Structure 1
Amino acid sequence: MASASRIELLQQFIKDEPDNPFNLYALALEYQNSDMNKAVSYFDQLLDKHPEYLPTYFHAAAANADMEEIEKALSIYKSGIELAETQNDQHALRELKNAFQNFLFENDLDE
């Protein structure tokens, strides 16, 4: 279960620094093991408010895949791969492409 004090601290950070995407990202990750709906909600906020924040895409796509939101996960993976290419982030690009290939295989999809 997510630590209540850690969640409260992260929520305070979000209030103090509403334009810092890392705080939302940390909160979404904190919820991933205890409340996937809340995690996905925070990932959605990140994708909407901070679409340039590349770390979001890997976890947001995986969370949506776990929730069996296959089309949404597919779209997030593709957007993340495009962003990693645009930002020339080779490490993130490799991770996203690898996760995307695994996602396609696990869901018996062709791309």
Structure 2
Amino acid sequence: MDRIAQLQTFLAQTPKDNFVRHALALEYIKAGNDVAARVLFEELLADSPDYTGSYYHLGKLYERSHLTDLAIACYEKGMAAAKQAGEKHAYNELQSAYEDLVY
């Protein structure tokens, strides 16, 4: 069973598992399926806006899709969530991506 199929099986058993949704979205990106990855990341962050690790990857996906305004908003929201959670590494990563895009 390939990794995507495995993760889909896990997700069917625990549909709101953020780790599994995040991992599956990353596998979709590796496979070139940005549409499926975007759906998963957006659903994950709608349900759990404090899951800071997904903001960076969703922002980069928006950038690749030439959706600059959405990428900027995603990075800003992620920075706010990371700051509130005290996650300095996530905040710095998001800030760097934001500044690379904006400046």
Pairwise same-fold verdict (TM > 0.5): yes
C-alpha distance in 1, partners of 2:16/2:23? Answer: 14
Deviations 1:19-49 (A, max 9, x none): 2101010111001131111111111111112
Query: 1:74, CA displacement in angstroms?
Result: 1.0
CA contact under 8 A between 2:50 and 2:82: conserved in structure 1? no
Larger helix proportion, structure 1 or 2?
2
C-alpha distance in 2, partners of 1:97/1:81? Answer: 7
1:44 to 34, 42, 45: 42
User: Number of paired residues?
Assistant: 102
TM-score by length of 2: 0.92
Unpaired segments of 5 or more residues in structure 1?
106-111
AA aligned opposite 1:104: V
Aligned to 2:73: 75
AA aligned opposite 2:13: D
Aligned to 1:108: none
Aligned to 2:25: 28
Overall identity of the aligned pairs, in %: 29
Aligned to 2:82: 84
Deviations 1:31-72 (A, max 9, x none): 113111111111111111221111000100110111011111
TM-score by length of 1: 0.86
- The structure with the largest alpha-carbon Rg is 1
Aligned to 2:53: 55
Unpaired segments of 5 or more residues in structure 2?
none
C-alpha distance in 2, partners of 1:96/1:14? Answer: 27
